[in-house]
Chain A
Amino acid sequence: MGGESLSGLSRDLSVQGDRKGTATRVWKALAKRKPVLAIAAGIAIVAALVPMLVLADDPTATQAAGVAADTVWVIVAACFVMFMQAGFAMLEVGFSRMKNVGTVVAKVVTNLSVSSLAYWAVGFGFAFGAGGFFAFIGGSGFFPTFSPGSALDLPALSFSTVPASAKWFFEFVFCAVSLAIVWGTMLERTKFIVYILFGIPFAAFIYPLISHQLFGGGFLMATLGSQDFAGSTVVHLTGATAGLAGLLLLGPRIGKYEKGRPNAIPGHNMPLAQLGVLILWFGWFGFNPGSTLNATNLHFADVVVVTNLAAAAGAVAALATIYLITKTMDVGMIGNGAIAALVAITAPSGYVEPWAAIVIGAVAGVIVVGGVLALDKYLDDPVGALPAHGMAGIWGTLSCGLFTVPALAKFNGVGQGGLFYTGSFHQLGAQAIAVTASFVTVFMLSYALFWIIKKTVGLRVSAREEMDGLDISEHGMWGYPESFMPVPGGIYRPADMPTVNPHLSSDPVPGHTEVARA
């Protein structure tokens, strides 16, 4: 999140007093970039041009156009990130068995909803609001209103000119992604109520605590200079750490481990799982580039390129690694490689060069394959959330300490250059402290919360319910009714409705009575 972006923007604007010059420059720069951003760019340009044409001689119009372009970009990027919920849903559905798919989509929609409410109520205030214990936690802006004229004091986000509502929505969808990551480790055996009981305090307090430290101007970011551009630690490591705490208290699925050895419990739909991967990949073009909270300085387009290169390198590296180990081109692992690389590039995406992105992504691809194979012996993590979001999140955050370009650290106003540019371990140390502090904090809070839930309402469904599947036992219906109910394409009468055969009375078949008599 760029501390210097505002000054960069005003510099641009003062140098280019001519509005047409700015517009042309923005358009040319955007037109060259990724097609995936074409819509966003088009909308931004229209939004930017309209006030220019109307107010052609007003000196404030340029500024207003810049703010409009920034705001459109931030909202569009946030919508990309919101769509990642669909990616998580499809990924988890694909890696679950048919009897446990309805509950996944119900959970994703419910969690998105409860976290919306909790994050609006207090989460955003804890993460970004100005307050007395600011090095530790934010302390104002609870139950915010966003009508014109209302002011929220958000010190760490003041570099961006977009309105507080855009900042709120962008930060909220990150919170929702972090919460979605938690449950990847706990599929196919968790009580539905647990998602709500954990989701509310997670969105209200646990996530905002870490978000404040690395996005919101807390100690790690402001004093120590730890870099996390879009949340390898804040979003991904936080989610995976909570998932680890939950998994340790929850235990494996029935049948996963027998005589100390792991069994495979294959997911039911690889195309859906990989659709999830591609949706997440798409969503990441909002996740990282949107974290500039700024379109007019054009840095976001560089972030798109870096993000895509890392993902590509991760998928290729994971494919090569799993092939070398098992002589199989495992479908799921290729996707895991892309996700792990995207997680890893999240923290350094605003700080590194393309070549470094390829290295970071490729290493993440190797880490995730090794991680899945190693962890599977002890921990039942159906989608590989711990390696993909946890291990790769740690690697990505640390990689800032190696690969951050000094000029980009200065541009973003956080920390300094990495080991390979400066020869100094300072930034790597700052990154390691951020990872350790975040992991310990989230693990302790999440473990305590899951422990309380376990002792009161319980985390797991009964063994019978688990065998029957969560769809029928928790939700009273099937995710895929026609795979389980007796006649595909049929209708189903209420239990107390007598059977009706209209053909018997109104249209007797010739010869039928004779057959019956014989």
Chain B
Amino acid sequence: MKMVMAIIRHERLQEVQDVLDECGVSGVTVTEVKGCGAQRGYTEKYRGTAVHISLIPRLKIEAVMRAEIVKTVVDKMAVAARTGEVGDGKIFVIDIEDAVRIRTGEHGAETVQHGQRAMWGH
């Protein structure tokens, strides 16, 4: 199994979720995060004082899947999350040793895929 961990823009979340669903990934964890990269922050003005904010809000996406589909998922996600502007984020792929479905106690790749689309958000 592999985990895809991606940093994306807020406004691309639905498209990225659609890709994961379409590829049969059974779940996704989304976290609001702040970070810095090539985009280098922005300037805020508070009561006349300029303030440089280096950390920009983004979403962190974590999804575990069967190793066979990871390449397809990553390619499709890279398209779905892209706007073409600096600051579109990154996708990382990490090895996963095991997975347990807590309710039933079953192990392995069966726990991270679904047979039928969940249509998240639709």
Contact = CB atoms under 8 A, between A and B. Distances in A.
A512 interface: yes
| Size category of the binding interface on chain A | 20 to 34
B106 A511 contact: yes
Interface string B40-54: 000011111111000
| Of B48, B103, B104, most A-chain CB atoms within 10 Å | B48
Contacts of A54: none
Contact of B49 (A262, A512, A514, A515): A262
B105 interface: yes
Contacts of A489: none
Interface string A303-340: 00000000000000000001001101010110000000
A376 B47 contact: yes
A266 B100 contact: no
B48 A515 contact: no
Nearest to B102: A509
A262 B47 CA distance: 12
Contact of B48 (A266, A325, A509, A511): A325
Nearest to B105: A511
Given A326-B45, A328-B45, A330-B45, A264 B104 contact: no
A515 B45 contact: no
A330 B44 CA distance: 10
A264 B49 contact: yes
A372 B105 contact: no
A172 B100 CA distance: 67
A339 to B, nearest CB: 14
B105 A330 contact: no
Contacts of A372: 47-48
Nearest to B100: A515
A264 B51 contact: yes
A263 B49 contact: yes
Contacts of A514: 105
A384 B104 CA distance: 60
A369 B47 CA distance: 9
Contacts of A510: 104-105
Contact of A266 (B46, B105, B106): B46
A384 B105 contact: no
A266 B104 contact: no
Interface string B86-106: 000000000000001011111
Interface in B14-52: 44-51
Contacts of B44: 264, 266
A373 B105 contact: no
A332 B47 contact: yes
| Of B47, B51, B100, B106, most A-chain CB atoms within 10 Å | B47
Contacts of A330: 45-48
Contacts of B103: 509
Nearest to A382: B47
Interface in A260-282: 262-264, 266
Nearest to A266: B46
A372 B47 CA distance: 8
Nearest to B51: A264
A83 to B, nearest CB: 26
Top 4 closest pairs, chain A to chain B, by CB: A511-B105, A264-B49, A264-B46, A515-B105
23 contacts: A262-B49, A263-B49, A264-B46, A264-B47, A264-B49, A266-B46, A322-B48, A326-B45, A326-B48, A328-B45, A330-B47, A332-B46, A333-B48, A372-B47, A372-B48, A373-B48, A376-B47, A384-B47, A509-B102, A510-B105, A511-B104, A515-B100, A515-B105
Given A264-B49, A509-B103, A509-B104, 8 more contacts: A264-B44, A264-B46, A326-B48, A372-B47, A376-B47, A376-B48, A509-B102, A510-B105
